[in-house]
Amino acid sequence: MTTPAAQLNEQLLRMRAGHAADPMPPWPVRAARLRTLQSMLTEQRDAFASAISADFGQRPAQETDLLELFPSLSGIRHALRHGRRWMRPRKRLAGLAFLPARTELRPTPLGVVGIIVPWNYPLYLAIGPLVDALAAGNRVMLKMSEFTPRFSALLAEQVGRYFQPDEVAVVTGGVEVAEAFSALPFDHLLFTGSTAVGRHVMRAAAANLTPVTLELGGKSPAIIGPGARFEEAVERIVFGKMVNAGQTCIAPDYVLLPRARVNEFIGVACSVVARMYPDLERATQYASIISDRQYQRLTGLRDGALAAGAREHPLDGTAADPARRLLPPVLLSGVSDAMEVMREEIFGPLLPLVPYDSFQEAIAYVAARPHPLALYVFDEDSKRIDAVLAGTQAGGVTVNDTLFHIAQHGLPFGGVGPSGMGSYHGEAGFQRFSHMKSIFRQARFNGVGLLNPPYGGRFRRMLELLLKRG
């Protein structure tokens, strides 16, 4: 019986053979693959959205279009506009002592890239890095999440229709397959998911010295400064928290706000939810929690906080429904660092409120904790904003809004420290999946022979000159 590891290795060898036959695909070949991907997304739009909704139990097609399809297609268009330029060799100046030699950096494909896709945005977090890897001239294997079986199977079927087997391949399966996939000797491996699983992926990749990009998460804070447009800040935080029912790696995880405005935040948030989700009980435009396990984890975080003294503030009168995995949004006040909800990434529609007495206290609070994947700051005073940017570390920042830094193709996206390593998107992604090959071109007429042995007086004079001026 063929094992998953053997099957995966066979697929990898097939792709390596394809890469060896065409190790430096010209731009027309790369562009054709990107346009094929574009056609697949456009033609299968409704089918993909339906499959994702079925996997979640309920997720509005509008959210899939906005949060997954739009950035995927936008990323393809961006790569098609700029990819030819990204491929060009970069001229560099040779050292003064080596003139008239010439140097350059030439982007070359890595070979075969592995991408491990999470369940929360299974379309975008597959297509986003795939676009960058294809633009860089690579072959790609995608490992989809077992928690989105319908979409994963559909994507595997459609990729098989639109691409050659040695160009792009989709792998499905559970933990055993994921472990075997992580252990393959890829030329680069990108993982998006939890910090705990990221450690296992990195350990498996280390056995092959496979370079990795880890996109993890953490507790992404939102800071409301004293000069913020308060109601607008609350609206944008609620939006960032409620899309996909908070199952977003860069969703606001907790809010730091002036102590005197906690009750005001609760009132405004209730109004925002009533306006954005007027029929939340039917949940036609609100996502379900992906699985019973995740639903129980979230209710456990909430109940544990309440048992430890936190206060619950429902933002809608809808009751939670375990059968549908419908979990309405809840604010939590009176939280403490001892509570699990303040130690774990929440990844759901629970939002703790953490009051501060001074703005510097809020900055210090963020700085004292593990670096988050995202940071949000709301204020109209540039000095206060700069104080947050200078005093904290985060993978990315959005000022006076949430989420949208991830959609900027000109900005690298990635974590720092506990929230990940490496980044991609746009040109940064092209470079992530390329090797910048260093090339030195010696001039026909040069003086390097003056440094040849035997090391006599001429050598000593040349060496002294190099030490002083080279």
pLDDT band at 4 (very low <50, low <70, confident <90, very high): confident
Look at residue 394 and tell me if it is in a domain.
Answer: yes
Look at residue 449 and tell me if it is in a domain.
Answer: no
Look at residue 310 and tell me if it is in a domain.
Answer: yes
Strand partners, 436: 107
Is residue 285 domain-shared with residue 358, that is, in the same domain? yes
Is residue 162 domain-shared with residue 225, that is, in the same domain? no
* pLDDT at residue 443, rounded to an integer: 87
Task: Kindly report, residue by residue over 219-234, the tens digit of the pLDDT.
Answer: 999 999 999 999 999 9
Q: Which residues are catalytic?
A: 215, 249
Q: Is 323 exposed, middle or buried, given 0-12, 13-18 or 19+ CB atoms closer than 10 A?
A: exposed
What amino acid occupies position 222?
A: A
Which helix (H) or strand (E) element contains residue 439? strand 434-441
Task: Kindly report, residue by residue over 281-318, the tens digit of the pLDDT.
Answer: 888 899 999 999 999 999 999 999 999 999 999 999 89
Our CA angle for 141, 162, 127, nearest 5°, is 50
Task: Kindly report, residue by residue over 417-442, the tens digit of the pLDDT.
Answer: 999 999 999 999 999 999 999 998 98
Span 386-391, mean pLDDT? 98
Locate 165 and state its tokens.
């087997």
- Start-to-end C-alpha separation, the chain: 64
* pLDDT at residue 416, rounded to an integer: 94
Domain that residue 13 falls in: 4-216+420-435
Is residue 139 domain-shared with residue 257, that is, in the same domain? no
Return the CATH number at 81. 3.40.605.10
Is residue 235 domain-shared with residue 368, that is, in the same domain? yes
Which helix (H) or strand (E) element contains residue 160? helix 149-162
State the number of CA atoms in the 13 A half-sphere of 385 facing the CB: 14
Is residue 342 domain-shared with residue 364, that is, in the same domain? yes
CB contact at 8 A, 121 and 56: no
pLDDT band at 470 (very low <50, low <70, confident <90, very high): low
pTM: 0.94
Locate 229 and state its tokens.
């447009």
C-alpha of 308 from chain center:
33
Is residue 167 domain-shared with residue 118, that is, in the same domain? yes
* pLDDT at residue 458, rounded to an integer: 87
Look at residue 126 and tell me if it is in a domain.
Answer: yes
Domain count, the chain: 2
